[in-house]
């Protein structure tokens, strides 16, 4: 299972593998397509291949600001489309009561368009539903939310919805698309939806969870929920799929007692060598414990050479997200820690190189020069490391790149673009 972090996919690394990693099939294809053609000198790269690879690596390393970037710790568990997102794509939304025989009585109008004004008590019939929709055939007193798609005009069954929830659903109408949102917009959205988490109406609870889970990490810090409520949620087995977000929110809202509970749970997980919810627990511990816990967690994971690569991946994910939401001093502290990680766990050098490039931390150049000359670095990470060294502008980095480009024994199918 892959995870996307700041535009880069993380793949489970195998300690027993010679390459210390697994290349995704798409990267195999890209690397193969960018290789040298027969008859082309090893020192020459076709302009098309060079351009293709530059675009590819640019996509890997280009990082949007945290304003536009969903928190990678929790966003993978969010539903693909929440009710809020579906309301954006609908021009009509009504809460109805099924009457049977394909007829519905409007209980509440949530969203209307100039060509469709349905008042309370209006009967709807002969609606054209999208293929595959589960359309109620019998009369039912329970409310049902129907949406008409802006494109195509077909109707969708969003799910059960009581008429009393109409004001809450109505408040979601007019929401911005995520691509248009600033950090302030996200903060306002998560603050508004936080009280809706675990709402008795499942569709509303799922919507609140999905929108907060895909919010930027910095925006999540605006959420205020009682620690006692969050503790009840992380202890509830029925809410296990949502536990990563709730651990993180507990860290944000923790007092001394909750901070101790998070630390105890994380220490248990460290002893068990577990990785389930590890990144969210570390992020929660970083939020609740501050600088003192950063030092403890650094020793617990990054200075313990017995840690497995999956454990280090999860720990790096939590620290990176924490650093990106912090200030320059925090980023330099974590960047220095990553530089030591590259020294001690060379196979993980590619994992953090995008972070160090984004933070413009060049003190790790000597370690990456050594790593690039070694046979440990996985080919999929070779070009990002080359880009890091080139971006540093340091003489020793540029000399190493020249030496590698001029050495047939060290040149691979991944080209080094001529400066």
Apex 184 CA angle, 59 and 359, nearest 5? 40
| Average pLDDT of span 358-380 | 90
- Report whether pLDDT(24) > 90: no
What is the SS3 assignment for 123?
Answer: strand
What is the SS3 assignment for 129?
Answer: strand
Beta carbons of 347 and 355 less than 8 angstroms apart: no
Instruction: Select the more confidently predicted residue: 321 or 345.
Output: 321
Buried b (16+ CB within 10 A) or exposed e, 252-289: bbbeeebbebbbebbeebbeeeebebbbbbbbbbbbbb
Beta carbons of 256 and 229 less than 8 angstroms apart: no
C-alpha to C-alpha distance for 93 and 147, rounded to whole angstroms:
5
| Per-residue pLDDT reduced to its tens digit, 272-314 | 999 999 999 999 999 999 888 999 999 999 888 888 889 998 9
| Per-residue pLDDT reduced to its tens digit, 206-242 | 999 999 999 999 999 999 999 999 999 999 999 999 9
**Own/partner pairs for 14-17, CB < 8 Å, 24+ apart?**
14/309, 15/308, 15/309
For 7, which DSSP code? T
pLDDT value of position 62: 38
pLDDT band at 350 (very low <50, low <70, confident <90, very high): confident
C-alpha to C-alpha distance for 349 and 381, rounded to whole angstroms:
8
pLDDT value of position 407: 60
How many CA within 13 A on the CB side of residue 229? 11
C-alpha to C-alpha distance for 294 and 328, rounded to whole angstroms:
16
| Average pLDDT of span 169-187 | 94
pLDDT value of position 374: 82
pLDDT band at 378 (very low <50, low <70, confident <90, very high): confident
Beta carbons of 10 and 318 less than 8 angstroms apart: no
Beta carbons of 408 and 26 less than 8 angstroms apart: no
Residues in the chain: 419
Closest CA to 410 of 375, 366, 376: 375
C-alpha to C-alpha distance for 316 and 300, rounded to whole angstroms:
12
Beta-bridge partner residues of 4? 9
């Amino acid at each position: 299972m892959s995870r996307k972090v700041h535009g880069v996919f993380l793949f489970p690394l195998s300690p027993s593998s010679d390459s210390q990693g697994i290349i995704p099939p798409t990267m195999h294809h890209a690397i193969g397509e960018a290789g040298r053609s027969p008859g082309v000198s090893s020192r020459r790269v076709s302009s098309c291949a060079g351009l293709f690879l530059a675009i590819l690596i640019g996509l890997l390393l280009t990082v949007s600001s945290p304003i536009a970037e969903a928190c990678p710790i929790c966003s993978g568990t969010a539903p693909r489309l929440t009710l809020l997102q579906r309301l954006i794509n609908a021009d009509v939304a009504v809460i109805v009561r099924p009457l049977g025989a394909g007829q519905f009585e409007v209980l509440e109008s949530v969203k209307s368009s100039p060509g469709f004004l349905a008042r309370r008590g209006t009967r709807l019939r002969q609606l054209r539903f999208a293929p595959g929709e589960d359309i109620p055939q019998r009369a039912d007193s329970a409310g049902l939310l129907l949406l008409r798609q802006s494109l195509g005009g077909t109707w969708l069954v969003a799910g059960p919805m009581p008429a009393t929830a109409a004001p809450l659903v109505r408040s979601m109408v007019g929401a911005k698309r995520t691509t248009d949102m600033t950090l302030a917009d996200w903060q306002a959205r998560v603050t508004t939806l936080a009280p809706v988490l675990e709402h008795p109406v499942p569709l509303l609870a799922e919507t609140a969870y999905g929108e907060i889970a895909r919010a930027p990490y910095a925006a999540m810090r605006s959420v205020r929920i009682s620690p006692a409520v969050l503790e009840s949620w992380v202890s509830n087995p029925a809410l296990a799929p949502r536990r990563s977000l709730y651990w993180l929110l507990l860290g944000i809202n923790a007092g001394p007692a909750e901070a101790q509970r998070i630390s105890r749970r994380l220490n248990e997980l460290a002893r068990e060598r577990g990785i389930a919810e590890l990144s969210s627990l570390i992020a929660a511990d970083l939020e609740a414990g501050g600088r003192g816990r950063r030092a403890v967690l650094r020793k617990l994971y990054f200075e313990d050479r017995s840690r497995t690569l999956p454990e280090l991946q999860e720990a790096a994910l939590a620290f990176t997200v924490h650093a990106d939401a912090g200030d320059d001093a925090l980023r330099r502290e974590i960047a220095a820690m990553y530089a030591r990680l590259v020294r001690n766990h060379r196979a993980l050098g590619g994992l953090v190189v995008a972070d160090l490039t984004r933070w413009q931390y060049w003190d790790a150049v000597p370690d990456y020069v050594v790593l690039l000359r070694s046979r440990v670095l996985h080919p999929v990470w070779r070009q990002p490391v080359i880009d890091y060294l080139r971006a540093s502008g340091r003489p020793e980095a540029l000399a190493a790149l020249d030496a590698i480009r001029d050495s047939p024994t060290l040149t691979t199918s991944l080209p080094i673009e001529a400066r």
